[in-house]
């Protein structure tokens, strides 16, 4: 069982989460990354959005709110209650009247630490294009 070191959650067994600035420098997936949970709860945002322009606006908005892309349609990060409400309201406005499904999940450090990551890291640019 993983022990928490307040206020930072050490995720040595789960190296996939990292900050965007590390993407350019750390190609080795065995590197240990840390998700700072000192200021909020871990928040996972996943979405299916059919319109490219709406999907790009949502992705840019989530990045601007400090979330990190972990898959093409998934972002994660630590958000305060207030910041999470801002994300909910902002995304709601961006997708209003569009064919879209966005789900926002709060995760406890314990549940997050038990996730299983399979495969390799895939990276995407600002236009949601896969970076080879």
* Calpha distance 13→8 (Å, rounded): 15
| 62-116 residue pLDDT tens | 999 999 999 989 999 999 999 999 999 999 999 999 999 999 999 998 898 898 8
* Per-residue pLDDT, 66: 93
| 22-62 residue pLDDT tens | 333 333 333 334 566 666 789 999 999 999 999 999 999 99
| 47-56 residue pLDDT tens | 999 999 999 9
Task: Judge whether residue 3 has pLDDT over 50.
Answer: no
* Per-residue pLDDT, 38: 64
Give the other-Cβ count within 10 Å of 107's Cβ.
Answer: 17
Q: Which domains does the chain have, with CATH numbers?
A: 8-116 (3.30.70.240)
* Per-residue pLDDT, 132: 63
* Calpha distance 37→6 (Å, rounded): 9
């Amino acid at each position: 069982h993983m022990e928490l070191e307040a206020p930072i959650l050490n995720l040595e067994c789960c190296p996939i989460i990292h900050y965007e600035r590390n993407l350019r420098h750390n190609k080795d997936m065995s590197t240990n990354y840390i998700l700072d949970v000192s200021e909020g709860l871990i928040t996972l945002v996943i979405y299916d959005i059919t319109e490219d322009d709406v999907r790009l606006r949502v992705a840019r908005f989530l990045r601007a709110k400090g979330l990190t892309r972990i898959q093409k349609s998934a972002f994660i990060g630590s958000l305060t209650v207030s910041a999470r409400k801002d994300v909910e309201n902002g995304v709601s406005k961006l997708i209003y009247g569009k064919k879209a499904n966005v789900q926002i999940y709060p995760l406890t450090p314990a549940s997050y630490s038990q996730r299983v990551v399979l495969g390799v890291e895939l990276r995407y640019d600002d236009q949601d294009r896969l970076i080879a």
